[in-house]
Structure formats: structure tokens, C-alpha cells
Structure 1
Amino acid sequence: MISMASAVATIASTVVLVGMPDGVVRFVSFYRGKNDQERIKGVIISALEIVLPLGVIAGILLFLFADVISVEIFDEPNLTPVLRIFSFSVPFFVLFYIFNRAIGGFQEMKYVVYVRDIFQNGIRLFLLIVLLSLGYGVYGAAFAYTSTVIAVPFVALYYLNKIFPIFSKTIKCIYVRKELFSFSWPLMFAGMVGLVMGWIDTLMIGYFSTSYAVAYTEHRSQLQDCS
């Protein structure tokens, strides 16, 4: 169930990002080369103004329609509460991607690694061990995932602020919404193709079979990757 809920939440998040992370990397890098701090700030703020409301709406819709998705699509009523827990992660997933890709635009990849590979995976593993050892089962795993996604954007924002003083009132914000959106939205389709290809086995097995079959396939795939 965790794999199916994660797939649905990730796809929802990717749709509402409308290709914006790639646009953020491109424009932050471009204006950084011109030393245009006002437009760098404008790129980040413009991206947030576009995708954050969409992320909130997507999270609310996922929460409200969790039962329909679970029962009508996956025929798995027990997926409903898990999906509702995951729905809270959607807006924060969006925030994380914008902040992390903005860091990438400054070519500070060490901070990207700190946030994505060390902090995110470390905290998630820690919470999983604690919650599963306390007997919370699948709900504990869902809470561990969601809590990590909620926490990670703030860590990314901390590192972004170290690179670029985004909260500085002395740097005015010159918005670039039109340019950013025009560049970004076509990239959404390329991202969606890659995402669907990555999750297609989980979604199809979940649709035609059960959550147990999904879990078995996931574990088998991971074991094959390790061999």
C-alpha cells in the first residue's frame, strides 16, 4: 500500500509542478551569470506563486477523493487512510523540488546531496525504524514518509538562504512568471512520461492485483538490483 500511495502522491505532485523545477534551474543559472539578484529572487518567488497553490489544491483533492481512488481504481479499501496521510505531503513535495532545484541553479550540488540523499533518507529511515518497532505498521511507514517530506523543504530553504539571501529586503523581487511558465510547462510532459514509466509496474499491479502483489514485486525488484 505504501508503494501505491507513494506513486499516486508523486504523480499528483509532478503534475502540479508543471515542469517548473527545470525552469527554475535554467533561469536561476541564467540570471546568476548576469549577477541579476532581483530576477533570481523573482524566479524563485514566481515559481512558488504558481505551483504552491496548485500543490495545496492537489493535496486537498487527493484527501477528498482518496476513497474513490482506493476503491474504484485499486479495489483496495485499506489504501484510503494511507492515501490520506500521503495527501499532506503533496504541497511540501512541491516546495522541496523548487528549493532544491534553485540550489542546483547555483551549482551547489553538495547542498542538494545533503538535503536529498543524507537528510531525507536518514530521517525517513530513522522514523521508519522507530515507528515500526513501536508496532504502527503501514500507518507508521506512511507517517514516516509524510513527516520527512514535510520537514525536508525547510532544510532545503535553509541551505538556499545560505547561498542566496532570499529573505533580504534589500533585494527587490522582479517577477518573471510569464517567461518561467512559458519555458516550463512543455517540460511537464517529458517529466510525466519518465515518471509514469518508473511507476507503471506499481500502478498496473495495484490495479489488476493486490497490494501484497505490489509489495512482493517491489521487494523482488530491489533484491535483483542488489544482486
Structure 2
Amino acid sequence: MGDTVGDSLRRVAKGAAIFFIGSIVGLFIAFIGRIIVVRYVSPSQFGVLSLSLVVFTILCTIASMGLPEGLTRQASYFLGKKDLEKVKAVFGAGIYLSTISGLLAAAGLFALSDVLAEFFGMPDVSWTLKIFSFALPVAMLNRTLVSIFRTYERADVKVIFSDLLPNTLRVAFIVAMVILSMSFYWVVMAYFFSIVISGIVFLTYSLRNVEFKTSESVFKYFKILIFFSLPLLIQSILGMLITWTDTLMIGYYLASSDVGLYNGAQPLAGLMQNFLASVSFLYFPIVSQLYARNQLREMGRTYAVVTKWLMSASLPIFLVLFFFPDAVLWLLYGEAYVPAAYALRALALGFFTHVMLGPNGLTLIAAGEAKFPTIAGFIAAVINFVLNLILIPLFGITGAAIASASTYATANAMISLKLYKDYKIHPFTKNYVKPAFISLAVALLIYLISKTLIQVEGWMLPVLFILFVVIYLLSLLFTRSFDQEDVMIMLSIEQRLGVDLTWAKRVLKRFV
């Protein structure tokens, strides 16, 4: 069991290293751009931009029809059979379908932009959606190209063209427009240009590095891709509804400034999910292989260790966001966004619940249980809508945040209970629980002391974050909560990044 689990975890770590570092850098760049925009435009204008981007993202997801995931699966299947002509045929079918779907979705968004603006009571949403409609086919093509390179396990391509290039271009355009004191219209154009230019560069790179010509008929793979991808589309839509229902309903019930406030807080809490995304890229195929070999114990152990890593990485961020949300918002966005503090606290709790239970949905799907996560997603989407319907009129954006947090907790609890009931798989080992409990207790004590004796200000947050990291690491050491796999993963990181971690490995081995 040990060798199998160790090999699985090393493979996850090697794939996640580039993915994680690249996505974090990309997220940081995007976050810098968001802060500049928030400080440059009014909350009402930021609300219009945020709502337009939500509609754009939703339409991209629907128009994709689940094709990115379906394409990767089908192409990987034929690649495993060493049938390269069929692999290229699937690639071609995916390109054709995403292009057609993207053009139709773009036409629909342009035509309905005035209706949507009237529905939300925000006239400026009309022209912003018209602009974004022209970028929609490019965004669709980008998703398809990422799935093509994912077939070959090229996480570096995804990082470069989905995380780094568009975010860097966007920030560069935004900075230039701020320096030139340009209007809100040009801020919107900065987002548009970053999508289109990065898409053109990505397409050029793909044409030079991927062979698309094939002797197979591309069109006969349309049906294969569509029918396989539609169930994945249902899951994507449900996840999207859970993610964006709160923003859309805030736009309906409240003012555009409230949308801006909420969308200042939501991405902060969502930072924790980046750790989950970084390991999911290779975790899913690896645990699928373990299940295929009937290695359920190894599968459960891999899930438990990966989830512990996710919780460990997310805990310090959660503690800062949960205990000091007002200081975080003041530091990053300014005093105008401090009213979103309670919403940020609720959202942080909801997202942390998601991360602390790890890739439970992917583990179920790897075990052939694709139907249950869809059912759980449907129930969660209904709960989310009902709670938003009740809580937003009563508590504003805080009500929306409570609805989202409750939804994440409910959906993940359902999936984790199913995972434990059917396969006896759960993440709550003693090495997971002990340091987490001690760290939470100490953090609560620090919070109570700070509320009594001092006023925590923005400049103190980096110190608090480092303090929480140190507290968690010390709790790991003194409770001897390191696993053998932690040493293995450090070896993988050392080999991948070329960093000498001998001293750290020596310390770990004393406490395993």
C-alpha cells in the first residue's frame, strides 16, 4: 500500500507544482488588477462590471456544453489505445463544436443585452454585455485548447495561456488607462482586449504545436462528444448556479453598489479554492486508476493525505479572513468596502468547508458515482436559491453570503457522507484533526485578546498571517502529526523545483 500511495502522491505533487505556482501567480496578478479597478471606479461601476462578467461566465459555461471535460476524456481514451488519428479527430470535433456554439452564444448575448440590462435595472449593463459578446467565441476556443493540452498532461500550457498571459495583459491595460485617466468604458475594454489578444496568441501556439490533420471523419465524433459531455454540462451548470446565484439575486433585489461590495468580498474567500484546483488536475485520473485496480485502501489514503495538505494550506488564510474581515477589506479596497465584512466572514467559512473536505466529489466520480454528485448539486442549487430569496431581502449581501456558505456546507456534507457510507473513505485522521483543532483554539484566543486590548489594522494582517502559519506548523510538530507521505512529497518538490530541503526533511523525520 505504501509504495502505491507514495507513487500516487508524488504524481499529484509533480503535476500540481506548476499548476499551483502558476495559478497563484496568475491569481495574484488578477487580484492586483481588481484592486486597481476597485479603487479607480465607483462601487456602482464596479457592480456593473462584476455583473456583466458573471453573465459572460455563465453563458461561456452553458455554451461549452461540457465539451472541455468530454474532449479530454475521449481524447485520452484514444491516446491510451495509441490511436492517434482518432485523437486528432476528437480535437477537430471539439474545435468545430466550440466555435459554432461560441458564435451562437455571442449572437444571443448581443441580442439580449438590453433585456438583461432592464431586468437588473442597470442601463450600463447593456453596452458592457455587447462588448463582451464579441469576446465570447474566443473565450470558448481558449477552453477547448486547454482541454486539448490537458490530454497530454501539459499543465504548463494551461498556466501560461489561461492564468498568466490574460491577467498580465489586463493589468497592463488597466494601469495604462489609469495613468491616462481614461473613462470606465476603457476599463471594460481592458478586460475585452486581454481575452482576445491572449486567445489569438494561444491559437497561434496551438497550431504550431498540435497536429490536427487526420484521416478520420471529424463530424462523426460530434455525436460522441455531445452525448458524453451533456451530463458533465449539467454538473457544470449546477456548480455555476451555486456560484453566481447570489450575485445575480443581489443585482435584482439591491443596488449595483451592493453587487460591487459583494464581489469585492467573494474572490477573497475564493482564494482557498485555488489550492483545491491545483491538486485536482492530476488527482482525478490517478484515483480513477486506483479504483480500476480495486485499490480502495490506497485510494482512501491518497484522498486523506491530499485533503490534509489542502486544509493545511488554507487554514492560515481562513483564520485571517474569518477573524479580521474588516481589516482585510480596508487594507485591500479602502473604507468603502468595510460594510462587506460580515459577508466576507460567512463566505470564508463556506469556502473553507469546501476545501477542508477535499476533492470528495472527484473521488466519488472516480468510483463510478457520477450521478450522486449531480443530485447533490441539484439539491444544493435549490437550497441556495431559496435561501437567497429569503435572506437577501432581510440581511442584504450578508444574507447572500450566509446562503452560499450554507449551500457549500450542505453539498459537501452530502457527498462526504456518501463517500464514507459506500467506501469508508474520509479525511479525518488524527494527524488531520489534532493540529487543526489546536490552531483554531489558539487563533480564537488571539482574536479575543485583540478585540479586548488592541484594534487590528490593515498593516498587522501580514504579521497575523505569518503568526497563524507558525502556530499551525508548531502544532504539527508538537502533536507529531506529520505522515511518511509528507516526507515523500517534500522530496518530489525538491526534485521538481531544484531546491535543497535537506534541513526540512531532517526536522520532519524526527516528528513522524
Selected match of 1:132 from 178, 183, 206: 178
In 2, Cα distance between equivalents of 1:110 and 1:62: 32
Q: Which residue of 1 aligns with 2:215?
A: 172
Count of matched residue pairs: 223
Query: Which region of structure 1 is more displaced relative to structure 2, 15-24 or 28-37?
Result: 28-37
Preserved contact between residue 20 and residue 47 of structure 1 (Cα < 8 Å): yes
Q: In the superposition, relative to structure 1, how do residues 120 and 20 fare at CA in structure 2: closer, same or farther (>3 Å)?
A: same
In 1, Cα distance between equivalents of 2:83 and 2:199: 25
Query: Which region of structure 1 is more displaced relative to structure 2, 16-25 or 138-147?
Result: 138-147
The structural deviation recorded for 1:14 is: 1.1
RMSD: 1.9
In 1, Cα distance between equivalents of 2:222 and 2:111: 30
Identity among equivalent positions (%) equals: 27
Larger RCO: 1 or 2 (CA < 8 Å, sep 6+): 1
Q: Which residue of 1 aligns with 2:195?
A: 149
The structural deviation recorded for 1:164 is: 2.3
Preserved contact between residue 132 and residue 140 of structure 1 (Cα < 8 Å): no
Counterpart of 2:180, as a letter, is: L
Q: Which residue of 2 aligns with 1:184?
A: 229
Preserved contact between residue 100 and residue 156 of structure 1 (Cα < 8 Å): no
In 2, Cα distance between equivalents of 1:209 and 1:127: 31
Q: Which residue of 2 aligns with 1:21?
A: 68
The structural deviation recorded for 1:137 is: 3.5
In the alignment, does 2:91 pair up with 1:44?
yes
The structural deviation recorded for 1:111 is: 1.0
Q: In the superposition, relative to structure 1, how do residues 74 and 26 fare at CA in structure 2: closer, same or farther (>3 Å)?
A: same
In the alignment, does 2:122 pair up with 1:76?
yes
Counterpart of 1:93, as a letter, is: A
Q: Which residue of 2 aligns with 1:55?
A: 102
In 2, Cα distance between equivalents of 1:136 and 1:39: 50
In the alignment, does 2:205 pair up with 1:193?
no
SS at match of 2:137: helix
Counterpart of 2:76, as a letter, is: S
Q: In the superposition, relative to structure 1, how do residues 133 and 199 fare at CA in structure 2: closer, same or farther (>3 Å)?
A: farther
SS at match of 1:65: helix
Counterpart of 2:264, as a letter, is: H
| Correspondence list, 1:115-130, <5 A | 115-130=161-176
Unaligned runs of 5+ in 2: 1-47, 272-316, 322-512
Q: Which residue of 2 aligns with 1:12?
A: 59
Unaligned runs of 5+ in 1: none
Q: Which residue of 1 aligns with 2:266?
A: 221
Q: Which residue of 1 aligns with 2:18?
A: none
Selected match of 2:134 from 84, 88, 98: 88
| TM-score, scaled to structure 2 | 0.41
In 2, Cα distance between equivalents of 1:157 and 1:35: 25
The structural deviation recorded for 1:119 is: 0.7
Q: In the superposition, relative to structure 1, how do residues 213 and 180 fare at CA in structure 2: closer, same or farther (>3 Å)?
A: same
1:83-136 residue CA offsets vs partner (Å, 9 max, x unmatched): 111111211111010011111111111111111111121111111211233233
In 2, Cα distance between equivalents of 1:132 and 1:114: 26
The structural deviation recorded for 1:163 is: 4.3
Preserved contact between residue 28 and residue 106 of structure 1 (Cα < 8 Å): no
Selected match of 2:206 from 160, 164, 168: 160
1:151-175 residue CA offsets vs partner (Å, 9 max, x unmatched): 2333333443454223x5xx43432
SS at match of 2:82: coil
The structural deviation recorded for 1:62 is: 1.1
SS at match of 1:194: helix
Question: Computing the radius of gyration over CA atoms, which structure comes out larger, 1 or 2?
Answer: 2
Query: Which region of structure 1 is more displaced relative to structure 2, 102-111 or 46-55?
Result: 46-55
